[in-house]
Amino acid sequence: MTWEVVKSYVWVAVGSMLGGVSRFWVSRVVAERVGESFPWGTIVINVTGSFVIGVFAALTLSEGRLSTSRSFVVQFCIIGICGGYTTFSSFSLQTLNLARAGQWLWAGGNIAISIAACLLAVWLGFILGEIINR
């Protein structure tokens, strides 16, 4: 493994740690302010994470202000921080990229498959957990 590859993993790891800690902090702040009867913390995290990943995606375009440091920004900020903060931001960016490329069917498919498959997976996982608990 080359030093460049190792550096990439380190940047992703450090960014993920910062994103995860940020997620924990934001969700606690939201819960303290509005309660936990509805998952407002998760919604705030998903929306703010999607906003931030959109900013970084635009800044790292070939004509963007951070295009010269694209590799670092993608590894540390997009994959690391945003990925540790919320994976919903990655889903949102990938869907946006499909739509921007005019691949509306794929964008819609990504939305439909992700929602249906994830709800099915969490339900099946919950059932497995209940079976294990017996």
Give the chain's mean pLDDT: 92
Q: Rounded CA gap, 20 and 36, in Å?
A: 19
Residue type, 121: A
- 111-123 residue pLDDT tens: 999 999 889 988 9
pLDDT at res. 96: 95
pLDDT at res. 113: 94
- 10-42 residue pLDDT tens: 999 999 999 999 999 999 999 999 998 888 998
- By the 8 A CB rule, do 76 and 18 touch? no
89-93 average pLDDT score: 87
Domain ranges of the chain: 3-101, 104-134
pLDDT at res. 18: 98
pLDDT at res. 87: 80
Read off the pTM: 0.79
pLDDT at res. 70: 87
pLDDT at 130 over 90: no
pLDDT at res. 89: 82
Integer CA distances (angstroms), 21 to 26, 58, 88, 112, 115, in order: 9, 25, 16, 30, 26
- 43-84 residue pLDDT tens: 999 999 999 999 999 999 888 898 888 899 999 999 999 999
